[in-house]
Amino acid sequence: MIRTVLFDLDGTLADTARDLTQALNALRAEEGRPALPYEQIRPVVSHGSPGMLKLGFGVTAQDADYARLRERLLKIYATNLCRYTTLFPGMNELLATLKRRGQNWGIVTNKPAFLTDPLVAQLPLPYPPACVISGDTTNNRKPHPEPMLLACSRAGSQPDECLYVGDAQRDIEAGQRAGMRTLVALFGYIEDNERPETWGADALVNRPDEILDWLSRND
């Protein structure tokens, strides 16, 4: 039986894409570049600052400008974490239902804690998560299983009692490596060229309420 449901943050629990779009375009403006459309930025948000900087400036971690651009991007974003960000429709009801069912929930994200913690504090959650594991909470980040296993421990569950929901292949890989069941959130930030049906998850869901349907079938 699943006792704990763990969520990725960006693109699974919360729709953060508009605030991240604003941050990337603000940085592009500072660098003398025109704004990119929201529809172009949204699919890469789950890939964090590396994906956004590759899209926005064509740079990777090996490029000389990468560290400077990343630092500035995160500083801009930190000042506007929750201007447009909301829970995905149906997520509030999902969390409330988990509580009624006696299940707890948590967050495992690659977002650094200095962004994760204030963002989670501003979200309109029905009750607090049992655990919040950020990208710098452990030595390794997803797809490594270390943050997943720490989340299990803090939530008071064994890995085989946990379900992890995410919108990126590394989410599914991390959950599987930790011994969890996994679901792909198709409502999240998935690029057109990605094939989530090949990631090996237990199921794919189109809406948060379908997570409850899956739990009901797998109790």
Mean pLDDT (the chain, rounded) = 97
Asked if residue 171 and residue 135 are part of one domain, the reply reads: yes
Confidence bin at 145 (pLDDT 50/70/90): very high
33-50 pLDDT, tens digit each = 999 999 999 999 989 999
Q: Which of 10, 15, 19, 171 is catalytic?
A: 10
pTM to 2 decimals? Answer: 0.96
Q: What CATH number did the domain enclosing 165 receive? A: 3.40.50.1000
> What is the number of domains present in the chain?
2
The pLDDT, as a whole number, for residue 8 is 98
Q: How much is the average pLDDT of 47-61?
A: 96
- Measured CA to CA, the distance from residue 23 to residue 18 in angstroms comes to 9
Q: Which of 8, 15, 19, 167 is catalytic?
A: 8
Q: Is 219 a catalytic residue?
A: no
Asked if residue 44 and residue 8 are part of one domain, the reply reads: no
Helix extents (H) in the chain = 17-30, 38-41, 48-57, 66-78, 91-100, 113-122, 146-155, 169-178, 208-217
Asked if residue 49 and residue 29 are part of one domain, the reply reads: yes
Q: Is 8 a catalytic residue?
A: yes
- Measured CA to CA, the distance from residue 159 to residue 193 in angstroms comes to 31
2-25 pLDDT, tens digit each = 999 999 999 999 999 999 999 999
- Measured CA to CA, the distance from residue 186 to residue 205 in angstroms comes to 6
Nearest to 183 by CA among 219, 207, 148, 158: 207
Domain, as residue range, for 47: 17-78
Asked if residue 143 and residue 66 are part of one domain, the reply reads: no
66 touches 60 (CB < 8 A):
yes
